[in-house]
Amino acid sequence: MTLEEFFVRNSKAAVAFSGGADSALVLWAARQYGREVGAYYVHTAFQPAFELADARRLAAELEVPLKVVEVDVLAVPEAAANGPGRCYYCKRTLFSALRQAAEADGYTVLLDGTNASDDAGDRPGMQALRELEVRSPLRECGLTKDQVRQLSRQAGLFTWDKPAYACLATRVPTGTAITAETLARVERGEEVLFRLGFTDFRLRLLGDAARVQVPADQLERAARLNQEITRGLAADFSAVLLDLQGR
């Protein structure tokens, strides 16, 4: 089945749009081949500001109305506690809110950007998506991440080469409670790394310190800019450690 065939059969649908490459292609295909589509972005403390900016930009370029759904994910005890099941409770809460908003607008089909490269058994939150009957066109059509990027480039989507970006909560070690201030510190730290020109990196908490992970081909540059990185992160972290393994 192709994306065109999927949307011929499901011509009216709501897309859970994160601003990333996968859901961007789903939104483009829904706009291209469907009859009626709505984009829904769930805004929580777990998402950095640039994700919403990217979502708004692409929705505007595709001329698809974007509804921002606000969710206080830190009010969900199981999510804030950051135990092993955090992703399940988070996804369940977020997609329940998205489904409620979409159904209020007359959409009975809710789509997400899971692709065929994602491991259904291991990917956090996949169980919640199944329980809520969220459909994944990319996965159903057998499209891998590489194919998603290729099709996105052909479609002229600026997200075609956007690195995958896991939510800010993944920077906090499992078992360490998540607070709004912790997430803000991480986001400020990652903004510093963005400004210094790093890509596809992670800043992970290690006690009060920051553990910086960059791709192997950026390690030498990170070491060379160690003073700039340390100065930029000093206000929020007691120490800065560079992971020499690379991402």
Question: Are 107 and 201 in a shared domain?
Answer: no
Q: Indicate whether 137 belongs to any domain.
A: yes
What is the per-residue pLDDT across 56-99, written as a single tens digit (0 to 9) for each?
999 999 999 999 999 999 999 999 999 999 999 999 999 999 99
Angle between helices 226-233 and 180-195 (to 10 degrees): 150
Verify that 120 and 207 share a domain, yes or no: no
Of the candidates 161, 190, 205, which is a domain's last residue?
A: 161
CATH number reported for the structural domain that contains residue 203 in this entry:
3.30.300
128 with 13, same domain: the answer is yes
What is the pLDDT at residue 167? 92
Question: What is the phi-psi region of residue 246: left when phi exceeds 0, alpha when psi lies from -120 to 50, beta otherwise?
Answer: left
Helices (H) and strands (E) in the chain, counts: 11, 7
Reported as a single tens digit per residue, the pLDDT across 197-242 is 999 999 999 999 999 999 999 999 999 999 999 999 999 999 999 9
Q: What is the mean pLDDT of residues 108-134?
A: 84
Banded pLDDT at 122 (limits 50, 70, 90)? low
Can you give the CATH number for the domain in which 112 is found? 3.40.50.620
* Domain co-membership, 220 together with 106: no
Average pLDDT over every residue of 122-148 = 89
pTM exceeds 0.75: yes
Range of the domain at 210: 179-242
pLDDT above 60: residue 155: yes
**161-191 pLDDT tens trace:** 998 888 999 999 999 999 999 999 999 999 9
The answer to whether residue 247 is domain-embedded is no
pLDDT at residue 247, rounded to an integer:
81
152 within domain boundaries: yes
